Structures are given as C-alpha cells and as structure tokens.
Amino acid sequence: MAKQNKGRRSATNARQIWHGLSWERWLTNPTVWILAATVGLIFMAQQYWGEGTTGTGEIDPQFALTVDRIAIAAPEDWIGHSPTALLQAEFLEPARSLLDSKLVGDLAAYLKTWPFVRSIDSIVKSPQGIKVDISYRQPIAIVEWKTSGERFRRCVDDLGQVVPIGLEKSERNSRLLLINVVDPGGSHLQDWMSWPDTRIVDATKIAAILQNHFADLGIYRVVTFRKNQHDFSQPFELWTARGAKIIWSDDPNQDSTEMIALRLDLLAKWQQENGNFDQLAGRKKIDVRSGLLRITDDFENIAQNQLGISKPR
C-alpha cells in the first residue's frame, strides 16, 4: 500500500513539473535547443554526406562525378591507354556521386587494376572533384638474350616487369642499359608480366640506380654469369660498349645507399684522373664491391658466348 502511494506521488509530481513548464520556458530551455540542433545536424548530414541522390534515387547533378572532375596525369604515348577514356567506360558506369563514402576506396582499387600503374601516391576528394597523384611504369633497361640461335630483346621497368613489345625498338630507348644473363627464359612473357627470374629483377635494380650516371661513366650493359636464379657464385658487372668491365655488386639487395654513392664516387674519380674505362678492355677490370677501387686481371669467361651479346648500337 505504501509503495502504491509512493508511485502515485511520483506521477503527480511529474505531471506538475510538466504542466509547470510553459511554452516560453520550453523555448528558453537550453537543453531543448541542444536536442533540436543535434537532430537538425543529423538530418543535414544525411542529406549532404549521404549518397548525394535526389528523392528519386538519381545522382544529384551538383554532386555527380564526371570525368572532367577527375584530375589525373596522362601517361606517355607508348603506354597506349587514355586514363580518362578508361575511367569513363569502366569506373563511371554506372554514375558515381562525390558524396559516396566509398568513392575514394573504390577508385584506388580500380586504378590498381591498370597494369601500367607503378604506384598510387594519393587520392584527394573535394567538392570540386578528385585529384589523383599517380606514377606510371617507366622502361629502365632492355633484357637481351639468345636461345637456339634466335635473339630476343624485351624492355623492363625497375621492378622487372615487362613493358610493351616494340618499345625496345623505339628511338627513345636507344640509350637504355642492356641486361645480359645466361638464358633468362623470357620468350614466353607477355606485356606487363613480371619477370620470374630474380637475376633480371636484381639487374633492373642496378639499372635504376645507374639511370642518371651510366651515360657519363660510359656504362653500356649489366652482366652476370650466374647460371640460374639459384646461383649466387658470380657478381653483377657493368660493361662498357667496348667490353671494359667493372665488378659492381655481389647482391644488389644488400647494397646500402652509402655504399652505392661511394662506388659511384670512386668510378667518377678514376675516370676523371685516367680517362674512360675502355682503355682497360680485355686486359684489366675494376672491382668496387668493397667500397675500395681495385684493378685486377681480366680473364674472359668461357660462358661469355652464352650471353647473347649484340654489337653496340
């Protein structure tokens, strides 16, 4: 009985408090205003940051993502693809909204399917559109070999990925480094495939390091006499067009930035003091693997005729 009376008194008190609040008190109550503002903000956010659709489910034109609202650098002509054409045909069909919360992630995933893309550095979305900072693959060297009397040449990038057939014949690549190894097994590779032989991948790393130096040093090709990718008994050498040889590295994956800079400095100083390296061809070779420059006797390797070396261009 006491509990019932207590419950009745609580209900009566609540009604008295409710009726005691006039409209003026409601309108001046800060708690009411905070609640109203919160509900309004939630509603506006749903409308503005939602999918950007109209009441009929169509993309609101002011938020519609069109190809002219995507800022993306075009690759070089040799790649043979237009980013804007691909985006229009494959990503913007069906239409997309700038307010789509999944837009940036979906675009990044789509761009990664382009085989000629090396990296996607950033994607920034704004009310005006999307800006994509992207890096495309670049040819870094030409792999040259001979199998059953037939000569092969394929361009690769700095990660050992094959770039399109015919590129190795273009004038723009007349000064790319050549890579020569014994039977690299690449005759079956199609465009944009990764070279499965780690000797080629390691050689492209060296080619990338020398990209801004090989012309001044007179370097023409990267060579190793390793029999296969499981053979680590032979170093990587740098050859001039006339066959002067520089022993560069036992393992490009272990070379530090400091060691690479030291080797380049040693070669540049020797060249400055003695002239070009061709004077050593067939007699002596230079060894800079340790960070010191040593000159040793040059003995022709019996496997040299298996490298498929062509005459200088």
In a domain, 222, yes or no: yes
In a domain, 288, yes or no: yes
AA letter at 198: T
Domain boundary among 108, 136, 164: 136
- The pLDDT confidence band at residue 16, using thresholds 50, 70 and 90, is low
In a domain, 274, yes or no: yes
Query: Which pLDDT value is given to residue 168?
Result: 64
- 296 and 148 fall within a common domain: yes
CA–CA distance, 131 with 126 (Å, rounded to integer): 8
- 128 and 146 fall within a common domain: no
Domain that holds residue 205: 141-306
- 197 and 280 fall within a common domain: yes
CATH of the domain at 295: 3.40.50
Query: Which pLDDT value is given to residue 155?
Result: 92
More confident residue, 282 or 8: 282
Predicted TM-score (pTM) of the model is: 0.75
Domain boundary among 136, 162, 189: 136
Query: Which pLDDT value is given to residue 258?
Result: 97
- The pLDDT confidence band at residue 49, using thresholds 50, 70 and 90, is very low
Q: Comparing 69-83, 156-170, 231-245, which segment has the lowest mean pLDDT?
A: 156-170
- 117 and 154 fall within a common domain: no
- The pLDDT confidence band at residue 298, using thresholds 50, 70 and 90, is confident
- 131 and 188 fall within a common domain: no
Q: How many domains does the chain have?
A: 2
- 244 and 97 fall within a common domain: no
**Count of beta carbons in the 10 Å neighbourhood of residue 217:** 18
In a domain, 41, yes or no: no
**pLDDT (mean) for 212-236:** 94
- 113 and 156 fall within a common domain: no
CA–CA distance, 106 with 91 (Å, rounded to integer): 9
In a domain, 15, yes or no: no
Question: Does the pLDDT at position 175 exceed 50?
Answer: yes
CA–CA distance, 258 with 182 (Å, rounded to integer): 30
Q: Can you tell me whether residue 187 is helix, strand or coil?
A: coil
In a domain, 36, yes or no: no
In a domain, 131, yes or no: yes
**pLDDT (mean) for 205-210:** 96
Burial readout 162-188 (b: 16 or more C-beta within 10 A, e: otherwise): bbbeebbeeeebeebbbbbbbbbbbee
- 116 and 171 fall within a common domain: no
More confident residue, 55 or 205: 205
- 162 and 131 fall within a common domain: no
**pLDDT (mean) for 83-102:** 93
Query: Which pLDDT value is given to residue 46?
Result: 47
pLDDT tens digits, 235-286: 999 999 999 999 999 999 999 999 999 999 999 999 999 999 999 998 999 9
Contact between 234 and 289 (Cβ < 8 Å): no
- 180 and 254 fall within a common domain: yes
- 171 and 236 fall within a common domain: yes
- 216 and 289 fall within a common domain: yes
Domain boundary among 107, 136, 165: 136
In a domain, 228, yes or no: yes
Strand duo 294-297 + 236-240: pairing: unpaired
**Count of beta carbons in the 10 Å neighbourhood of residue 148:** 5
